[in-house]
Amino acid sequence: MNDPQPVQNSLKPGRWIRSTCKMCLHSCGTLIHVTDDGVINKIEGDPANPSNNGRLCPKGNAAIMRHYDPNRFKQPMKRTNPKKGPGEDPMWEPISWDEALEITAREIKKSLGEDPRKILPSLEDFQKFNIWVWPLAFGNFNCFQSGGTMCGGAYHPANGYIHSSFAAANDAKHCNYWINNGTGDGFSSHLHAAAQSNWVANARVERGMRCVTVEPRLSTSAAKSEEWIPIRPATDRQFALGLCHVMVNENLVDYRFLRKDTNAPYLVGADGYFVRNAEDKVYVWDSVENRAKPWDDPTIQKLALEGAFEVAGKECKPAFQRFKDVLDECSPEEMEKITTVPAETTRRIAREFFKAAEIGATIEIDGRTMPLRPAAYNYYRGAQGRKLGFQTNHAFKLVNFLVGNIDAPGGHIGVTLDDQWVDKSHVAPGEDGMLLPTPHQLGPVPGFSWPPNTFHLMDYFPVGVHPPHLNLLVFQNPEKYGVNFKPDVMVICHSNPLWALQGPREEWFKFMASMRFIVVSDIIPTETTMWADVILPAHDALETWNMTMIEPPHTEGMCMRQPATEPLYDTRTEEDIFYGLSERLGILEAYNGVLNMAQGLDHKPELMLEPDKKYTDKEMADRKGRLWNDKGIDWYIDNCAVTERRPDKWYRPWEGMRLHFYVEDMLHQRDQLKKQMEEHNVPFRDEWHWDDYSPLPTKRLDPVHEEPEEYNLYGMFFKDIQLNFGESIGNPWINDIVYRDPVHIALMLNPKTAAAEGLEAGDIVRVESPYGKIYGRIGTAEGWHPDALGVSNSLSRMKVKHDGVPHAGGHFNDMLPYDLHNTDAVTGQPETVCRVKIIKLDDWPEGLKQGLTVYDLVDDIEKPGKGRSH
Amino acid sequence: MTIQDSKIVGDNFQVGVRFQRYWDTSMANAFFCGELGAGIFFVSFLFDFVTGMVAGLLITGIFKSYFHITHMGVPMQSWRAILRPDRSWISRGLMAITCYLGLGAVHCLILAFDLETAWGLGTAVGNLVQLLAACAALVVMTYQGLAMSHSTAISLWNTALMPVSSMTYALTGGTVLTLLLGWNKVFAVMPQGQESLVSKILLLLLIDAIVLASVVYSAKNRSRGGKVSALLLLTGAYRQVFLSLVIGAGLILPMMLLWFVPGNLIAVLLAAAGILIGHYSYRVLVFKAGVYEPMTSFR
Amino acid sequence: MARYGMVFDLKRCIGCNACVIGCKQENSLPDGMFFTRTLSEEYGVYPAVKRVYIPTLCNHCEDAPCEKVCPSGATHTRDDGIVMVDADKCIGCSSCAVACPYDQRSQVDKDLLSHGLFGTSELTPFEKDGYKRFVPGTITKCDFCSERVDAGLDPACVVTCPTEARIFGDLDDPDSKASTLIRERNGKPPMPELKTRPKVYYID
């Protein structure tokens, strides 16, 4: 080459700027290279950020293609085709920002003036909670985003009860025995995937950490683990209870931890409530003096964990004994019938797990001596996205409780979402010496109301995250659920509910069609934007300011995002858009009030927003930065504000409080809701699954196991690191790797199962659940549980006017239920596995024959003798 | 083992067998024309048959060059192919082609216009020219096979039989076309030549068949990739073309025709057509069925 | 003079293909073109099934078959062992591509350069800037990010790898991390039977 100019992008003349990734909701540090001509041509991880440590996952590496996507919205637009529906061209007409905001405000106002509940928000920019909380400015608790169900409807409240945190992670820094159940943590997904996989790889290679993965499929985690334990879908709770059975019956338990740091010794009466004295103090049993004492009695010598006692005329047992009773019917042999995991395997894993936990070992960190428990059980969506979601989460937590590893070095640790300021502790003392449970990690929830104030019945889930799938249920049965309003204006920002929500798309289309007005703020066309009346195009993440931190497993701090280039198009920041709307709607003061509270700005009064002012994204970012460490935005431009988690906040921050081994609050919540429903004669109160509220998990089967026999397989959905969260398919670089990976290009079956079904790889099929159907092509691989049909997220998109997104034969979520029967009555978490049957077809149905599907793309890549490398 | 056992992975990110997709039809055309042209030239040369030699030179000079240039990613830079004769069979081949075309043309001119006498050239010069031209033609007939056999990546090609098959196919095609071009002309004066050519073609066809069988057989037993190539030809996607055109039309049909009706022009014409079809199909299929060995397994 | 090579730690690699996209963005590779790929291989019968992820790229062989067959001299080996293709000299005959046992070479397709990653005739600014490096019709491949190496940086795929499964270094320096790993964990080159003497090693 005669040209002296470098050809490699990172070396071309230009500048590097520090920023934060937004290809998923987490917040890895980035360095962005901008050429002298203003082209963003390389994004790398920021080596100064101890979370991702200079590294990025495939999605983070693909951010440039989102920025330069030619399909991006380039100016505000309004719909001119009044007909809405899949395949209907909206016939967008470009309009000015003034007109767009004017129309939008006018239409919102029309409904807002009648009844604020007629607004249905779907605001899901997870790095901008300042937008997320906007509806609170007019007291609206409706919710049309998928965050709760597809993420952790039960997971987050459960972590709130156990750790007072949003999420949880195994401590890769000290762990030596790592169980992954239905999660890719440390390998392919969940919290800061690039960061955690680095920690875990180091632990595996340098420390010889042993990994065991329990999952129906040979996932990345399973492939990299020393042991893969295939399990029938939706039976993970029963597996965990089998482990607990072995541990409790073989005394593989950290009794000292249970006595000292948990409520396991608290005495529980026959009604499930703790037994309290006249001063409302919970009793425990002193087995030395053989009598009951209040929990804080200084004379207690040894707390009983087992036995049956009588206190104040009431029969009672320690909470631990109650759990032991539950476990009586959870022997590994019994559980094997449900999970298919051989009883011997369960016994062996329980023993290995206990042995690795080194009960009794301690470690000194920062002058503080703590238990070292280098064995931990982690889990996520795949394992806990159940109808009995809370119980399922709780069961996994209890495996960890038994070895005393909760928040211990090497153990299973609560992970905060966004600490807000550096000295803020996420824990606080509650009643009777126990930790204060904080199930509402995502902000305030509406109280009870009849008739309901929300269209998705959030009024009746005192513990949960929003169950947005119930919007459809209520839409179809408004009288039954007593709604005296009907949302008719949708406000959507950075959210694609028509991709994410469960239940058949055709039914959701009717819901969408019932809206009088839909406004969408987004950056590219999606399944949902096709329904919009007005598009308010937003800047993308490479054009905006932000300050956030999203559930990092090992780090804390603030991640600053700054614009790498001027906006490419006539777009605006989400802040501009929502402040613009707020001003026009006359809710500016209320919005700023909500922000002061939700962003924690009221903690430092000098940072509080003035009632009548509009703030830019940079000003909001600056305030969040100052809230964290009193440094302004300029400091963040030059410095990385992320550090490893402070051990005092990270390890056992609740020292001196007792953890909720037994979640008595379930009964309080149940009985209070019951009472309120009775008082108000709520007509569907008898349908409410009161059994779901349980202070301890049970072995009860989730209803998915009770579907008609003809649905002989379990349909399950999965993602890998290239497909985590949104911003994936349609990005040409992501397409490049996803559609070359054999697990993402077919409906996967174990070959023996396929043979039994009379199917071969390549067969075109229709898959039906009791609730919906999809089409697809069969693939086979040995790494599948014989009862499972696996459907990758890569096969979930629908055709929209956006060339880069290849559609498949329908969306797995079409096959999922959206009823109360399959919804956790505690948290609103819906079932995410469905029973299916497979019907072989001779050819694709109409609509899938036109050569634009994922399968056509795959065929093109696979064609012998060809290949796009040439 | 079947083809399924050695998974063909297209451009997927899996360990398995990948097709070579860089040398395609235009390269097959070029190789075919190169071999055929040089073959005609060489056989005609043995008979001092100028028409045949000219035909051979034209086929090579025009068609082989054309197809090579259309194959080339940067046609304007094609001349650079000559730069590394020390290591590259492409470079050596290109030199041989140049030599063959140049000296072959000179040799034809010498013969056609009896220049040795006219210009008073000594026989030494003429002899040297013809010797070099013939040698160059032999190189052109074989170097393509040598270039292929040097690819350790592709078992079907990576065999000393590749240049041999180039040579035998070139001779077969060259002989039958020389026979046709000289039918009742050059060979009218030496009918025993005509007969002996027919029997030589039969012999060459027999050799072709043996070489072909050896190529496929040795590939099949050499490696996973080789086996896939062989099975692709024998039982897989290319079975029909291989059996009907390469074997049927290219070997069996001409053998039958030349055996049973050796002196019949129509029969020879048909045989020639079959031979050319067979040779061309072989060239195309050898490229199409060429696969890389699968990546080392780390099981 | 150093002799650069790479070690792939198969225990670390999670098959995420961040390297593949990191390479694509560093080197402005068009649609469907790769300088590195991470292959997967599944084996065994349920439930005793395993999958291994195997990163691949140009092995920068000491005895490079691609270099031997190159008729134009475009393919050459630098003093530090990096095998390069000089696009100004390459004629696009593809001899090297069929000679490389690892299928690690790609031809720069004119259509892909004009079509763009989004399949439209309009190239993104990223592509307009990046595609300038390519000469249509020539053969190209991984050069260990030679410009980064010259600037004292690791290749792009190495720096982005979330699990540090790619270790780049001087194989002549017995104390380099790469040499140490090859020695201590018995590094194996790919397809050694072909005697190409790769400078890439796998450890598991």
Structural domain count of chain B: 1
Q: Which tokens belong to C188?
A: 């194996």
Chain B contacts in chain C segment 101-120 (CB below 8 A): 101-103, 105, 107-108
Q: Tell me if C16 and A205 make a contact (CB, 8 A cut-off).
A: no
Report the CATH number at residue B274: 1.20.1630.10
pLDDT tens digits for range A242-256: 999 999 999 999 999
Q: Tell me if B19 and A865 make a contact (CB, 8 A cut-off).
A: yes
How confident is the model over A531-549, as a mean pLDDT? 97
How confident is the model over A387-399, as a mean pLDDT? 98
- Alpha carbon dihedral C141, C147, A193, B298, in 10-degree steps, equals 40
The closest of B210, B89, B212 to B156, measured between CA atoms, is B212
User: Does residue A865 carry a pLDDT above 80?
Assistant: no
- A864: amino acid identity, one letter: P
In CATH, the architecture of C4-203 is 2-Layer Sandwich (3.30)
Residue B12 near chain A (CB below 8 Å): yes
The pLDDT assigned to A870 comes to 36
The pLDDT assigned to A149 comes to 67
Q: How far apart are CA C76 and CA A536, in angstroms?
A: 54
The closest of A19, A731, A726 to C126, measured between CA atoms, is A731
Burial of A509 per CB tally in 10 Å (0-12, 13-18, 19+): middle
Q: How far apart are CA A117 and CA A142, in angstroms?
A: 7
Task: Kindly report the nearest CA distance between residue C162 and chain A, in angstroms.
Answer: 5
Which of C38, C108, C135 lies closest to B13 in CB terms? C38
- A764: amino acid identity, one letter: I
Which residue of C10, C26, C76, C167 to mutate against A (max A Cβ within 10 Å)? C26
Structural domain for B180, as ranges: 3-292
The closest of A832, A836, A791 to A386, measured between CA atoms, is A832
Q: Tell me if B10 and A868 make a contact (CB, 8 A cut-off).
A: no
User: Does residue A867 carry a pLDDT above 60?
Assistant: no
**A136-152: string of b/e by CB count within 10 Å (b at 16+)?**
bbbebbbbbbbbbbbbb
**Cβ pairs bridging A and B (under 8 Å):** 36
Contact A774, A810 (CB under 8 A): yes
The pLDDT assigned to A533 comes to 98
User: Does residue A530 carry a pLDDT above 70?
Assistant: yes
Q: Tell me if A734 and C125 make a contact (CB, 8 A cut-off).
A: no
How do A227-229 and A210-214 pair as beta strands?
parallel
How confident is the model over A148-162, as a mean pLDDT? 88
Chains that touch A (3 or more CB pairs under 8 A): B, C
Which of B72, B80, B297 lies closest to C89 in CB terms? B80
Burial of C171 per CB tally in 10 Å (0-12, 13-18, 19+): buried
- Determine, yes or no, domain membership for B298: no
Contact A589, A579 (CB under 8 A): no
Which residue of A737, A749, A858, A861 to mutate against C (max C Cβ within 10 Å)? A737
pLDDT tens digits for range B38-73: 999 999 999 889 999 999 999 999 999 999 999 999
DSSP notation for C128-188: HHHGGG--TT-EE---TTHHHHHTT---HHHHH-TT--EEEEETT-TTSHHHHHHHHTT-B
The closest of C58, B10, B16, C107 to A740, measured between CA atoms, is B10
Share of chain A above pLDDT 90, in %: 90
Peptide bond preceding A121 in cis form (omega within 30 of 0): no
Residue C18 near chain B (CB below 8 Å): no
Chains that touch C (3 or more CB pairs under 8 A): A, B
pLDDT tens digits for range A170-191: 999 999 999 999 999 999 988 9
Task: Kindly report the nearest CA distance between residue C112 and chain A, in angstroms.
Answer: 9
How confident is the model over C100-114, as a mean pLDDT? 91
Beta strands in A288-422 (DSSP E): 291-294, 309-311, 314-318, 362-365, 368-371, 375-379, 412-415
The closest of A365, A398, A296, A255 to A657, measured between CA atoms, is A296
The closest of A67, A25, A34, A32 to A46, measured between CA atoms, is A32
Q: Give the lowest-confidence range in A56-70, A581-595, B187-201, C33-47.
A: B187-201
Distances, alpha carbon B34 to alpha carbons A194, A504, A707, B174, C70, in Å: 55, 63, 70, 11, 20
Which residue matches tokens 């009598």? A291
The closest of A100, A61, A838, A410 to C24, measured between CA atoms, is A61
Chain C residue numbers with beta carbons less than 8 Å from the beta carbon of B31 are none
Q: Which tokens belong to C175?
A: 């104390």
The closest of B51, B261, B281, B31 to B177, measured between CA atoms, is B51
Name the residue of chain B whose CA is nearest to A869's CA. Answer: B11
**A2-11: string of b/e by CB count within 10 Å (b at 16+)?**
eeeebbbbbb
Which of A2, A11, A193 lies closest to C151 in CB terms? A11
Sign of CA dihedral A843, A848, A851, A857: negative
Q: Report CA A319 to chain centroid distance, whole Å.
A: 30
The pLDDT assigned to A150 comes to 72
Contact A184, A219 (CB under 8 A): yes
How confident is the model over A644-651, as a mean pLDDT? 95
Which residue matches tokens 């067969």? A763
The closest of A706, A616, A672, A714 to A232, measured between CA atoms, is A714
Chain B residue numbers with beta carbons less than 8 Å from the beta carbon of C40 are 13-15
In CATH, the architecture of A703-862 is Beta Barrel (2.40)
Q: Which tokens belong to A139?
A: 């007291």
Residue B119 near chain A (CB below 8 Å): no
Q: How far apart are CA A526 and CA B280, in angstroms?
A: 51
Contact A532, A498 (CB under 8 A): no
Q: How far apart are CA B264 and CA B261, in angstroms?
A: 6
- Determine, yes or no, domain membership for B116: yes
User: Does residue A800 carry a pLDDT above 90?
Assistant: no
Task: Kindly report the nearest CA distance between residue A199 and chain B, in angstroms.
Answer: 24
Question: Which of 3.40.228.10, 3.40.1080.10, 3.40.718.10, 3.40.50.2020 is the CATH number of A171-419+659-670?
Answer: 3.40.228.10
Chain C residue numbers with beta carbons less than 8 Å from the beta carbon of B72 are 91-93, 137
pLDDT bucket at A799, cuts 50 / 70 / 90 = confident
Residue C186 near chain B (CB below 8 Å): no
Q: Tell me if B295 and C39 make a contact (CB, 8 A cut-off).
A: yes
Q: How far apart are CA C100 and CA C191, in angstroms?
A: 12
User: Does residue B1 carry a pLDDT above 60?
Assistant: no
User: Does residue A437 carry a pLDDT above 50?
Assistant: yes
Q: Tell me if B288 and A865 make a contact (CB, 8 A cut-off).
A: yes
Mean pLDDT of chain A: 95
- Determine, yes or no, domain membership for B126: yes
Within 10 angstroms of residue A106's Cβ, the number of other Cβ atoms is: 12
Residue C50 near chain B (CB below 8 Å): yes
Distances, alpha carbon B102 to alpha carbons B39, B57, B175, in Å: 16, 9, 22
User: Does residue C189 carry a pLDDT above 60?
Assistant: yes
pLDDT tens digits for range A649-678: 999 999 999 999 999 999 999 999 999 999
Q: Which tokens belong to C105?
A: 């070479």
Peptide bond preceding A537 in cis form (omega within 30 of 0): no
- Give kind and range of the element (H or E) at residue A259: helix A255-261
Q: Tell me if C138 and B73 make a contact (CB, 8 A cut-off).
A: yes
DSSP notation for A353-372: HHHHTTTT-EEEETTEEEE-
pLDDT bucket at B2, cuts 50 / 70 / 90 = very low
Q: How far apart are CA A364 and CA A356, in angstroms?
A: 19
Q: Tell me if C46 and A867 make a contact (CB, 8 A cut-off).
A: no
User: Does residue C133 carry a pLDDT above 70?
Assistant: yes
Contact A238, A700 (CB under 8 A): no
How confident is the model over A542-552, as a mean pLDDT? 95
Q: How far apart are CA C137 and CA A854, in angstroms?
A: 29
Could you give the count of Cα atoms lying within 13 Å of B212 in the half-sphere of its Cβ? Answer: 25
Domain map (residue ranges) of chain C? 4-203
Chain C residue numbers with beta carbons less than 8 Å from the beta carbon of B292 are 101-103
Contact B104, B57 (CB under 8 A): yes
The closest of B36, B35, B20 to B146, measured between CA atoms, is B35
User: Does residue A759 carry a pLDDT above 60?
Assistant: yes
Distances, alpha carbon A680 to alpha carbons A450, A689, C171, in Å: 7, 18, 78
Q: How far apart are CA A333 and CA A341, in angstroms?
A: 9
Q: Tell me if C52 and A223 make a contact (CB, 8 A cut-off).
A: yes
Contact C136, C109 (CB under 8 A): yes
User: Does residue A819 carry a pLDDT above 60?
Assistant: yes
How confident is the model over B187-199, as a mean pLDDT? 75
Task: Kindly report the nearest CA distance between residue C18 and chain A, in angstroms.
Answer: 4
Kindly state the DSSP code that residue A436 receives in the 8-state scheme: P
Q: Tell me if B10 and A870 make a contact (CB, 8 A cut-off).
A: no
Q: How far apart are CA A320 and CA A547, in angstroms?
A: 44
How confident is the model over B163-181, as a mean pLDDT? 95
Name the residue of chain C whose CA is nearest to B89's CA. Answer: C69
Domain map (residue ranges) of chain A? 9-67, 171-419+659-670, 703-862
Q: How far apart are CA C172 and CA C1, in angstroms?
A: 9
Question: Which of 3.30.470.10, 2.20.25.90, 3.30.365.10, 3.40.47.10 is the CATH number of A9-67?
Answer: 2.20.25.90
Distances, alpha carbon A352 to alpha carbons A226, A243, A247, A374, A404, in Å: 13, 11, 10, 12, 15
Burial of B49 per CB tally in 10 Å (0-12, 13-18, 19+): buried
Q: How far apart are CA A747 and CA A858, in angstroms?
A: 13
Q: Tell me if B13 and A741 make a contact (CB, 8 A cut-off).
A: yes
How confident is the model over A62-80, as a mean pLDDT? 96
Residue, of A153 and A247, whose pLDDT is higher = A247
Name the residue of chain B whose CA is nearest to A867's CA. Answer: B11
